[in-house]
Amino acid sequence: MVSPPQSYHPVPLPAHHYLPPEKAQAEAESFFEKMSKRHSIRDFSDVDVDENIIRTAIRTAARAPSGANQQPWHFVAIKNAEIKRRIRDAAEAEELAFYNGGGGDEWLKALEPIGTGPNKPHITKAPWLIIVFAQRYGLRDDGTRYKHYYVPESVGIASGFLITALHNCGLSTLIHTPNPMSFLNEVCQRPKNEKPVMIIPIGYPTPQATVPQASLYKKAEQEVLSVF
């Protein structure tokens, strides 16, 4: 691995990507239409997904901006059925405690229109899982720590890149966040400075796949946008 420069040294912008206004608007509308078709699903087909697609999507995610360019993330891609089963067993144990009252009445009521529950068959049904880890701090070769900056923001942006890249390939995803998720460090053999953030099952939807009606509601533009 090539070490990054330790002092500021400007270089020419590697690529210029200018579009005239009419073309830019057309691209914006086209991309909006594509992303409007993205839905989280739980009904995954067992149709295989080529590993190279997963690898390329993760490489895309790793191009995301990050605080001080520290890139505080690690992605674990899992196809192995036994590892997926272990993750499902541990996740369902956490989810059972959550749905039996650990989540609190308000949170559980908010989830009612989504129709979720403690059983997570999609974890083993989906051809791939990607576990997203956030590096809470960095480790030098001698084992000493150094601070990472804007870790949640950076990992959140990278995760958005990842989900978008997968959707662009025609794949469906689901964001799953059992709490706590510390069991994933052991299963995925990741160091203690990394915190698991989410499990992303990936695959194609079954022909009978459904989504909650509530998920089709999106806030209107005036609720999410202010222009000055």
What local confidence, expressed as pLDDT, does residue 49 receive? 98
pLDDT over 70 percentage in the chain: 99
Please give the radius of gyration of the chain, using alpha carbons only, rounded to the nearest integer: 20
165-178 pLDDT per residue, tens:
999 999 999 999 98
Q: Can you give the pTM of this predicted structure? A: 0.95
Query: Do you find a cis peptide bond into 180, omega within 30 degrees of 0?
Result: yes
Domains of the chain, with CATH numbers? 38-206 (3.40.109.10)
Q: Which residues contact 83 (CB under 8 A, 6 or more apart)?
A: 187
The mean per-residue pLDDT over the stretch 16-22 comes to 95
Rounded Cα distance between 65 and 68, Å, is: 9
Provide the token pair at 45: 């087909």
Contact 75, 132 (CB under 8 A): yes
What is the structure's pLDDT at 1?
A: 56
Cα(172)–Cα(202) distance, integer angstroms: 6
Assess whether pLDDT exceeds 80 at residue 3: no
Residue whose tokens read 């068959």: 121
Note whether 162 and 137 are within 8 A (CB): no
Rounded Cα distance, 116 and 129, in Å:
19
β-sheet with 172-173: strand ranges across: 73-78, 128-135, 194-203, 172-173
Q: Which residues 6+ apart lie within 8 Å of 71 measured at CB?
A: 62, 154
Question: What tokens appear for 83 in the block?
Answer: 């590892």
Span 22-59, pLDDT tens digits? 999 999 999 999 999 999 999 999 999 999 999 999 99
> Hey, what are 50's tokens?
């080529």
Predicted confidence (pLDDT) at residue 185 exceeds the cutoff of 70: yes
For the chain, helix (H) and strand (E) counts, in that order, are 8, 6
DSSP-assigned beta bridge partners for residue 78 = 129
Give me the chain's average pLDDT, please.
Answer: 95
Q: Name every residue whose Cβ is closer than 8 Å to that of residue 3 and which is 6 or more positions away in sequence.
A: none
- Whether the pLDDT of residue 64 is over 70: the answer is yes
**Given this model, what pLDDT does residue 2 score?**
57
The lowest-confidence range among 2-6, 101-105, 222-226 is 2-6
